[in-house]
Chains A and B, each alone.
Chain A
Amino acid sequence: MPPSLEVRLWMYTNMVKSRRYEEAIKLAYLEGKRPLFNMAKGPIPGEMHLSSGQEPCAVGVCAHLRAEDAVTATHRPHHIAIAKGVDLNGMTAEIFGKRDGLSGGRGGHMHLFDPTVNFCCSGIVAQGMGPAVGAGLAAKLRARDGVAVSFIGEGAANQGAFHESLNLAAVWNVPVIFVIEDNAWGISVAKESSTAISRNSERAAAYGMAGWFVPDNDADEIYAVAGAAVERARSGHGPSLIEIQTSRLEGHFMGDAEGYRPKGEVQALWARDPIVSYRQRLVESGVDDARLGRIEREQQVAVDAAFAFARASNYPEPQSALQTVFA
């Protein structure tokens, strides 16, 4: 059964918002980095990991989540943060290293924390999984039907924390959902060179939990599977593992020459852009093209406003670097 129109439009809206956001980030990130790409320069220094192509994973799952449900994410967090409802102004100011950022510029793009919607992310592969187990356990101990979700990449499935976290979640019957966004690449290493089996969702069986595999980066299918997983968790049936075959349209990080990717692969993925095909599906199901156009314009406006806010915001005072080490 497909999601309701309301849900579909919510998902489309957030996918469009994410994509416009990543496009704007890309432009801002490249400022000051021409002609020589020096990662330290420009208004957004450091690494940048864009989520273009992976938007369906974020919206399909987050459509089922409440503000109090905890989400942990990775170094590629923007689409998930947006779908979770993270304050866009604060997030953008944080990415620009400004005082009005979510943590006053201390965290940056890989360490975004928004406790009002229980979202956080960090940069060491798979290490957000344990905290998601803990958040799920807290919900269970408080006898609330909250859930926790840990988003990871397929590379994380080979890291020790993955195995420990799945086992612990199952042993304690924790309401946590582990979502693998499989974009087939761990920087330059293809999944088939690094992973002993072809479907990580099958690893769920090794840990006594439900596992699902979703091909084709389809928001509606992800929504259906995530719905089942969230329902299991909320009703006390414990953890699940969802594996989604998605696509990484940009490099691992901005600046990645991607010489390791087979010729034509990226173009082929762009030709199957999930947002384009979802829009097509909406139109075919009777949604007015003009309505979709309105959504697209509104999201562009929202993204532009967040960027304007970030640019207008001041840099933090140096002495604030020494604060909040301890609460």
Chain B
Amino acid sequence: MNSPVPVMIPMDLWDEEGEGVIATWLCKTGERVDEGAALAEVMYEKASMEIAAPASGRLLILIEAEAPVHRGQLIARIEA
């Protein structure tokens, strides 16, 4: 399987409509990451949540830290 795996803010990461924000990227673009590894910390309404890598591969960050995000948004890709 060669097509890149999307990294998205899960639809159920928080309850209401509303924007969260990427607080910190724990990995950099170009780095190899393992499936399940913590990629980023996202904050919604002052609570902090982790986004884990859905697959192993090379990370490509699409949305930078401190940018607002909504549920379901694509924030990165992992290329095998």
User: Which residues of A pack against B, CB within 8 Å?
Assistant: 35-37, 255-257, 259
Contact = CB atoms under 8 A, between A and B. Distances in A.
A256 to B, nearest CB: 7
A35 B67 contact: yes
Nearest to B19: A35
Interface stretch (B30-38, B39-47, B50-58): B39-47
Contact of B66 (A35, A255, A256): A35
Interface of B: 19-21, 23, 43, 45-47, 65-68
A119 to B, nearest CB: 31
B43 A36 contact: yes
A36 B45 contact: no
A251 to B, nearest CB: 8
A76 to B, nearest CB: 18
A160 B39 CA distance: 44
B19 A255 contact: no
16 contacts: A35-B19, A35-B21, A35-B66, A35-B67, A35-B68, A36-B21, A36-B23, A36-B43, A36-B65, A36-B66, A37-B43, A37-B46, A256-B46, A257-B45, A257-B47, A259-B47
Contacts of A259: 47
Contacts of A257: 45-47
A35 B65 CA distance: 10
A16 B39 CA distance: 47
Contacts of B65: 36
A137 B21 CA distance: 53
Given A35-B68, A36-B43, 17 more contacts: A35-B19, A35-B20, A35-B21, A35-B66, A35-B67, A36-B21, A36-B23, A36-B65, A36-B66, A37-B43, A37-B46, A255-B46, A256-B46, A257-B45, A257-B46, A257-B47, A259-B47
A257 B46 CA distance: 5
Contacts of B19: 35
Contacts of A35: 19-21, 66-68
Cβ-closest 7 pairs across A and B: A35-B68, A35-B21, A257-B46, A257-B47, A36-B21, A36-B66, A255-B46
Interface centre among B23, B46, B65, B67 (most CB of A within 10 A): B46
A19 B67 CA distance: 33
A256 B47 CA distance: 8
Nearest to B66: A36
Contacts of B47: 257, 259
B63 to A, nearest CB: 12
A256 B48 CA distance: 11
Nearest to B47: A257
A69 B67 CA distance: 50
A259 B15 CA distance: 13
B26 to A, nearest CB: 15
Contacts of B67: 35
